[in-house]
Amino acid sequence: MREIPFIYPLKRDKGLRMYASLFSIALGSILGGWLRWFVGLKLNNLYPNIPMGTVFVNLVGGFVIGFAISYFANANISPNYKLFIVTGFCGAFTTFSTFSLEVLTLIQEGKLMVALSTIAIHVIGALIFTFLGMMSHHWLTQS
């Protein structure tokens, strides 16, 4: 009998692992997406030119993914935790597509310098916060 992926896994353990992975990603995505939406509601109107909710989630997401990757590099735990945090939560919480739309909208409104500032804040900020996340994990594990 030919194996049909996701529907009838012939190898029970492999199939269960796949379902656990899919569930981990889905749950992380739900939580990350909800939190991103909530942060956008609370912060996007604080500053008229730059949607601070998007900036916030991209910076915090950079920190979380940096910390998580450093932690998971030496952790002896199920890979589903990494899928939950990195692929699911951070993938839904951070948002490159929204960032792109917001920058293009600023350009269309003739706000080129604000658009360039937004790009710099997101890209440089995310790199810095990812590094800080990695360093935080390193610092906490050196104690």
Known binding-site residue numbers for Na(+): 91, 94
**Binding-site residue positions:** 91, 94
Of the candidates 19, 83, 63, which has an alpha carbon nearest to the alpha carbon of residue 11?
19
Helix axes 12-43, 52-74, angle to 10 degrees: 150
The CA-atom distances, in angstroms, between 72 and each of 5, 18, 77, 108 are: 28, 19, 8, 42
